[in-house]
Chain A
């Protein structure tokens, strides 16, 4: 799952972009998305795409491992562009570049920012219940991922998986999912006990130290200003 790889990259990375606060990077991403949505100028969009790609490389994100995340929106964009626009190559290029730019900006954000930090900022906008749900989902995802990994290994070892036997694989996957579901629901009951014992109140999970500004924030802020300046000029 990409989420685990992305999470690890954001956690391990040590670039200047990694060190900037989540809030500044969210601001940068928001600016890029706005430009993508509003602008219809190919040169500006190409410049923005080049900038975000360069930042991705500078942040030490291995493009080869993450290019599939860019290809996915690009593929949908191409289908969209070519099915709708017939002969207009400018329009097609516009759709493609827009989707790639937005996707690159998002990947830059999540490969350089720990997901809880992003949630920490979103918490300022979201009701406490939803903010807590986001964090618990994030924590549970990694717990369940570990369990699913063990289940799948056990399945393979017990001959429950064969590349060409689709029915066998489906049956095994359904069994693994069923067991995992029961495990998750029982784990949620134990988590509930923990929350009760530790005096849980909604919106309290986050100590909220994520958005304190640092000097490293100059990077994303300046980046966003450059793109905004470009948009105004064009």
Chain B
């Protein structure tokens, strides 16, 4: 469920460029991991599951300001690497409709891909040992908690630059009204002072952010874990072959 809703233009370019580069590297890896045979058999499933994720996101969860993402479910049904591609597809479509911001899309894909990869491998490791429901719920909770932590980490890192960006704007304006040579030491002093203030306010504001996001995030994680577990056990009842033999072509007909 953890993805960033940072508006475009407020995050320093270096961060979103890093995000995009990371995303490109991850997608390249993902595409290479998917074999040619798997492409033809899995691409329709990738398409419908991405569409399903988009639809599920639009289901309102009452007054709770969060929505389902179903990343772990997608990874369980598609495998880890096609799960990463589904994350990209969904995020691109969301970013195009202005949900989440196009510049932070790279970072969002990285955060959510961590959910898909961790969720899948945990599920794969646990399902041999415990009941499917428990494996799914545990994998979802752990993966989502980790991605929430990653998101907070990213916000913490990028906000330093946001503050710097805007302070530069203020100081830039002040500097224009004064002679650079004569006033230089004073400005430098101001900047140092303000940086210290900035670090302090950044620290408190990150605390505030964490205080706000963690409780909502926890509720979101619980809801997502319930949804993913219910859906997985539903599939297990109706079409167990969809989970049990992921790599085999499944057939069903009249």
Contact = CB atoms under 8 A, between A and B. Distances in A.
Interface of A: 1-3, 6, 33, 36-38, 40, 69-70, 72-74, 76-77, 80-81, 83-86, 88, 90-91, 94-95, 98-99, 101-103, 106-107, 109-110, 115, 118, 122, 127, 129-130, 132-141, 143-145, 148, 166, 173-174, 177-178, 180-182, 184-189, 191-192, 195-196, 200, 202
Contact of A140 (B10, B51, B209, B242): B51
A200 to B, nearest CB: 6
Given A33-B102, A140-B51, A177-B59, A109 B162 contact: no
Nearest to A88: B170
Contact of A76 (B7, B41, B50, B95): B7
A88 B62 CA distance: 35
A130 B239 contact: no
A114 B77 CA distance: 30
Given A103-B98, A127-B31, A94 B231 contact: no
Interface in B54-89: 54-56, 58-59, 62, 77, 85-86, 88-89
Contacts of B16: 37
Contacts of A84: 159, 162-163, 166, 201, 205
Nearest to B17: A37
Contacts of A182: 234-235, 238-239
Interface stretch (B119-127, B178-186, B246-254): B246-254
Q: Which of B9, B54, B93, B98 has the most CB of A within 10 A?
A: B9
Interface string B43-54: 111111111101
Contacts of A3: 54, 93, 97
B25 interface: no
B188 interface: no
Contacts of A99: 7-10, 101
Contacts of B131: none
Contacts of A81: 10
B120 to A, nearest CB: 17
B166 A91 contact: yes
B149 interface: no
B140 to A, nearest CB: 15
**Interface residues of chain A: helix, strand, loop or mixed (majority):** helix
Nearest to A41: B169
A137 B93 contact: yes
B212 to A, nearest CB: 9
Contacts of B130: none
A57 B86 CA distance: 34
B49 A189 contact: no
A81 B166 CA distance: 10
A2 to B, nearest CB: 5
A188 B48 contact: yes
B40 interface: yes
Contact of B52 (A184, A189, A195): A184
A181 B231 contact: yes
Q: Which of A140, A148, A173 has the most CB of B within 10 A?
A: A140
B238 A91 contact: no
A181 B101 contact: no
Contacts of B43: 129, 132-133, 136, 192, 195, 202
Nearest to B226: A174
B39 interface: yes
